[in-house]
Structure 1
Amino acid sequence: MLRIPLRLMRSLFANRTTEWAKKDWKEVNEIHQESQIDPLYRKIKYQWQHPLELKKQYRERKQERENNIERVPTQEGKLVIHSVAPIESVVLPRDDQIFAVLKISGFQYKVTKDDLVMSEKLPYDIGQQVVFDTVMLLGTPQYTLIGRPIVNNARVYATIEQQTLSDKIIVFKKKRRKGYKKNKGHRQEITFLRVDKIEHEIKDQPASLFLPIR
């Protein structure tokens, strides 16, 4: 490979002031600086920089796939009546006769009034009341509301009772004949909630969504 001294290259570009000449000189200078880098340093830099570039490309491809996904539009919930009686004759049951499937932090919980729920840590203070509207399903002795994906006009009121840590679990790792042994514990941050009440409405449901069951 023919190597041109940097002094000679400077003299070649000294009297050229056009934009292309400036761009060429910039590229030549970058090539010269890269040639002065230690090959060992270049190898070590590639070893830690290349995985980061791959992760960046993976995140970009993942984001592109998520943007190209066609979102399913939210539909009205389906009301299933457990008898042949008309909707006008259906009355709201007592609070202790209602259960709901609630989604909190990616997990689903079946709750009723006065239930104690243990969930992932939530950013609320003790004694604060929280309203959840991500109700996936709601059931009573007379009817059932099925969400697609959530039930409209349904809410669950809960009070934060405690912010604490879960029981400790032991994480033990060992490699035989290698002298490798590691032992550590972990306690997950959790939140305890007390369900106060479950509210919902059925009078606003369109008649086309009624599905009586004999």
Structure 2
Amino acid sequence: MKRNTGRGRKAPSSWSMQSRMMSDIMLCPRHRTSLNRLSGKTTMDKDTVTVTLSIAAFVVSIATLLVALSQMKIASAKARLDLYNKRFNIYIAALDYYQALWGKSKTPVDECATHFIKAYRESQFLFKRKDGVYDTLTKIKDFGAESTSKDSDVKAMEQDPTLDRSHLGRKREERGIANQCFEDNLKKLEAQLRPYLRFEHASGWHPFK
């Protein structure tokens, strides 16, 4: 009688054994429940990560928008301040010219007149024409030139002892009238500039106004 040594039987491979074990596990209800729970937990983790990333992206977008609005507001306030300074400098130029005509400034009249003419030309681009600022500055320019001319005549006549004093008195009176007209128009200019130079709030641009 022959002994069966088992040499003719083929040994099962490791892959076949693993497949059989996985099949046994899948057939077991308890293991099947555990796998379902593990799969559901993995899906929930992915959903949580997706929601978290979406919220983070939304927060970053809002922060970027707020920063952009803040920068726009700052830029607008700076532009308003620059415009205010340019308008105010025009008033200062007229005031310096007035003080020089009355001899109350250390700066020569000719220098103040040159500075005022520059501001006068610039004013047509900084104010609305209907507000009359440019027209008032035009009158100030004309009366300033007239006052300067009369003052030169008075000084020349004062150096001539043979000149009739009545002519000198008349020239002084004409110079005084020109200076008074200059002052009247300067006061008018102040009233016209008041809406432009009121600067209580430097808030700049508002996106919701």
Q: Same fold (TM over 0.5)?
A: no
Query: Greater helix share, 1 or 2?
Result: 2
Q: Which has the higher contact order (CA 8 A, sep 6+)?
A: 2
Query: Greater strand share, 1 or 2?
Result: 1
Which range, TM-score by smaller chain? under 0.3
Larger Rg: 2
